[in-house]
Structure 1
Amino acid sequence: MGLKFIRKFTENLEDPNHPLMGPVISSLNLAGMWKPDNKIKVTIIQVFAALSLVTEFIELWYLRSDMGSAMRNLSTTTLSLTCVVKSGTFVLWQKDWRQVIDYASSLEREQIEKNDRVTNKIIKKYTKYSRSLMYFYWCVSFGTVLAMLIAPLVMYMSSSEQRELIRNGSLPYPEIISSWVPFDKTRGYGYTAILVIQVCMCLYGGLTVASYDSNAVVLMTFFFGQLEILKENCKRLFDEERSSVERIRECHYHHVELIKYAKIFNNVLSPVLFLYIVICSLMICTSAIQITKEGTTTMQQLWIAEYLGALITQLFLYCWHSNQVYYMSLTVSEGVYFSHWYAHGVRMRRNVILLSGQLNKCIAFSAGPFSNLNISTFVAILKGSYSYYTFLKQK
């Protein structure tokens, strides 16, 4: 019964107009980030999320003298910051996002209609992979949200001393997110109100991160798959079924369009990933300090470990898929040399050389103006975070 429900739910997310991006668009729409009239509109919940972020920074300022509390607050504040930035930039740059998504959908529909066996096989393969990747992203994001939601309850139940201190009023009830409010949030209706607000913000944040990240990584998978299709088409440049000149023209145009939309995609994604890399470097370091700090309970260590694992996993998926696109773009021109170019005259060979020159232009996604998004960057972030950790531990 459960599997049948899940299958029906996933089938309802599919959209024939968006063969690859259907479930992603449904997720973006649920998060209030996909605006149907293509105009910039900020929903009430996005404004409320931004205001909640401000209250977290205010609370962080008040906690600056307590290093332990400040670092715990910083963990949730940085998560909120990335959620607000991802949601806000997606709405602000929606025109560019739509261009890339609409291009991906229209190109796939056109390719599927041609019913080419090789092309359809590749599309089916990377679509299936994208679905698994997207659902995995959702599980990671909402696993982190679930850990945040149950953390206060676990902290309350795990220590009888803390429960006694909370009952006699010496300690406040544990919060999901540490934030400032202009009323007493430690007891009674104030605590209930802040708890409800924070649960809503956590659920919205998880939905935002899952929607944005799965959208970005699925589009990277699209570029990888299309480069693979292009490579296979180059191998078949001189098949007798169609004109060779027409095939060369199609391959040239295909690559030009991929380069064009990859640049648009990189322009809207790069600033967000730059901020994300800075935050990851900071939070990997601070999380390592918290998890090894004396006095940290076992449950707190488990929560920090889950948070740290989710952070590293999301960063790795970005770097891995960007790295895959880059190296596939370097090998596309090899497809030309697998064709029967040597069996044709000088004029046709010149056309092949021109196509090869175009295919030598690679696709590389970046994280800000300073670094490309690849496995080397991922390793450098981990090394840098460990260096900061060892430096601070010596202080």
Structure 2
Amino acid sequence: MEENFWKIEEVENTDVKNTYNKFLNKLKTILQFFTSLCVFLAVLFIIKGFLGQTIFETYNPEWFPFYLMVIYQSFTCVMTISFPVIGTDLFIFTIFLLTSLQFRLLNEEMQDIFGGTEENNLEQAIIRRRIKRCVRHHIFLKEYVNLLNETFSEVLFIYNGDIVLSLCVEMYIVSTQNSFQAAVKAAVYVFTGMFQYTVCYCIAAQAITDEADKINNSVYFGKWYEHPDEYVRTATKLMIANGQRPVAITALGFMKINLETCLKTTQTILSYCMFLRTMGISQ
């Protein structure tokens, strides 16, 4: 499957290549920021053990030092919870954005084929070869998005429910907690969770849909219908027909992961948080 993806190094246009390299650099910056945020949040949760501020009291055997036990528990927590969660988020985020980048490369290629001046028109054989390559890549990308949906569908659905419950509880803690330390920890958790859900999932998934929707415009407004070669016109119509089917990342086939879903999820979190706060005040 790897050979089906277009490489940025193969792009001939220098301006386009520089734009995509900047895009990849921004991607790396976001990954580093999110990783740092998660590490900081993990430290806030772990440090309470070293300060002796534990919620529950446990039996501490004399032969096993307390701080050594805290280190062991913290190490286990980081290795079994923090690292897998961070790795999964970054993995999905990277895959979604790189998939959207493939659609952008396809858009640029279609615009370049028909977007030249009369003096820069390409030879018929070159146009045929490039159109054929674009049609194959378009079909591959549609199938690849379907593969992503089949792979992450259940995970995204469970994650969406988990983020609603966890952020709702943490926002309630922020609004009702008298302890400054607990409020700060909950606030950092809420910010990290919203950043994770919005950027790593919703914005990245929305980018795939946006770039895929541009395919028809990139193809149609290239005046393909004026091209004398019947093969080129037929292949282009095939791309337009294939592009009529919407491309979206979904959870269980019915819940689209995009910015609209992000807004609705945020509204749900706030509504449940206000409900819990109202119930707490009334009691």
TM-score by length of 1: 0.61
Residue 118 (structure 2) aligns with: none
Residue 22 (structure 2) aligns with: 125
Q: 1:174 aligns with which of 43, 49, 53?
A: 53
1:303 maps to 2:185: yes
Per-residue deviation at 1:184? 1.6
Q: 2:70 aligns with which of 187, 191, 195?
A: 195
Does the Cα contact within 8 Å between 2:250 and 2:256 map onto a contact in 1?
yes
1:206 maps to 2:82: yes
Does the Cα contact within 8 Å between 2:135 and 2:235 map onto a contact in 1?
no
Q: 1:224 aligns with which of 82, 89, 100?
A: 100
Question: Counterparts of 2:34 and 2:149 in 1: how far apart (Å)?
Answer: 20
Per-residue deviation at 1:190? 6.4
SS at match of 1:332: helix
1:366 maps to 2:250: yes
Alignment of 1:1-395 (within 5 A): 103=2, 107-109=5-7, 112-113=9-10, 115-117=12-14, 120-153=17-50, 156=51, 173-175=52-54, 184-185=59-60, 189=64, 191-204=66-79, 205-238=81-114, 239-241=121-123, 243-293=126-176, 296-317=178-199, 318-345=201-228, 347=230, 348-395=232-279
1:131-164 deviations in whole A, cap 9, x for unaligned?
Answer: 11221221122121122122345xx4xxxxxxxx
SS at match of 1:322: helix
Question: Counterparts of 1:133 and 1:266 in 2: how far apart (Å)?
Answer: 24
User: What RMSD over aligned residues (CA atoms) do the two structures have, in Å?
Assistant: 2.7
Residue 64 (structure 1) aligns with: none
Question: Counterparts of 1:361 and 1:118 in 2: how far apart (Å)?
Answer: 31
Question: Counterparts of 1:186 and 1:324 in 2: how far apart (Å)?
Answer: 54
Q: 1:303 to 1:152 in 2, by over 3 A?
A: farther
Does the Cα contact within 8 Å between 2:107 and 2:218 map onto a contact in 1?
yes
Residue 117 (structure 2) aligns with: none
Does the Cα contact within 8 Å between 2:202 and 2:259 map onto a contact in 1?
yes
1:51-90 deviations in whole A, cap 9, x for unaligned?
Answer: xxxxxxxxxxxxxxxxxxxxxxxxxxxxxxxxxxxxxxxx
**Structure 2 residue runs without a partner (length 5+):** 115-120
Does the Cα contact within 8 Å between 1:184 and 1:190 map onto a contact in 2?
no
Question: Counterparts of 2:162 and 2:234 in 1: how far apart (Å)?
Answer: 49
**Structure 1 residue runs without a partner (length 5+):** 1-98, 157-172
Does the Cα contact within 8 Å between 2:5 and 2:102 map onto a contact in 1?
no
Aligned residues with identical type, % of pairs: 19
Question: Counterparts of 2:161 and 2:154 in 1: how far apart (Å)?
Answer: 11
